[in-house]
Structures are given as C-alpha cells and as structure tokens.
Amino acid sequence: NPDIELSLVLTDNELDLSMREADIAIRMTPPTQADLVQRRLMTMRSRVFAAPTYLQKHGIPRTVDDLDHHRLVVFGEDAKPPVPSLNWLLEAGTANGRRRKAFLKVNSTYGIFRAVQSGIGIGALPHYLNQETMNLVEVLPEVPGPDLDLYFVYAEELRQSNRISVFREFMLRKVEELNH
C-alpha cells in the first residue's frame, strides 16, 4: 500500500501505545494495559542451533549435559531480557537452579543469530530465523525451549484505522507464509 509509511523502532522497552509512542507493537507477552487490542500472530518455537564451522571445531553436543563444555551465546542480562525464559539454555537439564556460564551475551535475538552464524558458539534461537538461511544446524532436537506467543498490539482508539487493519492483515499473511 503506497499510502502507508513505515518506521521500525527495534527495542525491548515496552513503548506506551496509548500515549502514541508507536501505533502498533509486536510483543512476546500479552499487553497489561486495558485499552490495548491484541491479536496473537504466531507461536515462536525456540531450538538449539550452531554453525557447521563451530561443530567441526568444538564437536557436537550429544546430551544436554554436554552444553557445560560448549560456548553458549545468550541474551545479555545487563539489558533485561524481554521475557524471563529467554536464556533457558543456561539452565536446561541442570539441577538445583545451577546456571551454565555464557561465553557471549548479546542484547538482541538477531545479534545472537549472527554470532551463532559466525561460529562463535551455540545459541537458543527462534526456529523461523534459520528457515530463511538454512545455514545453521539444529543440535539437541530433543531439548526444545519454551514456546512464546507473539502478539500484534495497538491502541483501542485505532481499531477502526484503515492503515492499522491493512498492516495487520499484511502481517498475518506473512506469518501464514512463514508457517507453510
């Protein structure tokens, strides 16, 4: 639609949509504000991936315990993860709340993806990221991470907005294409 102008704001901070800090948001948690409309877009499945170059150099983990001896790339905790379970790889299969040590912390999922792609280490990533490039290897497929629902969110006052509905339908079509 040539009449729609798009400006992306990539942040893990929750922008106030009712104060028009943005028209819409795509969030990993349902909104807590009562005056927001939400539509579930998709479920994001998290899996464990590594680059072939990393696996050639450091070996393939065969069990979840093997992760103790690998370089793990996770979401940087200095910037609060957008959802608490994002760094599940640090605790997967461990006892008594023990956490593995991260080799690298990055404050964006895309940054984790690029670090894993470059062979720096093993990371937990949404399955859809590898669908486009297909250059990562899924390791430990029997160790799935948490599934997270993604929501398309906007202010109630924009419910009748044509540009919001056009963009929402565009997003829903793209999600449908991604899942087929």
> According to the model, what pLDDT value does residue 11 have?
74
Cα distance between residue 51 and residue 167, in whole Å: 34
Residue the block writes with tokens 């990393």: 54
Write down the pTM of the prediction: 0.78
> According to the model, what pLDDT value does residue 71 have?
97
The candidate with the shortest Cα–Cα distance to 104, out of 86, 92, 122, is 122
Q: What is the mean pLDDT of each run of 10 residues along the chain (180 residues)?
A: 78 78 85 84 90 97 95 80 77 85 89 94 88 86 88 90 89 81
Within 61-170, strands assigned E span 72-75, 104-106, 122-126, 137-138, 147-155
> According to the model, what pLDDT value does residue 82 have?
64
Sequence-separated contacts (24+) of 16-23 with Cβ below 8 Å = 17/153, 17/154, 17/155, 18/155, 18/156, 18/157, 20/155, 23/154, 23/155, 23/158, 23/161, 23/163, 23/164
The candidate with the shortest Cα–Cα distance to 153, out of 21, 5, 3, is 21
Cα distance between residue 19 and residue 143, in whole Å: 41
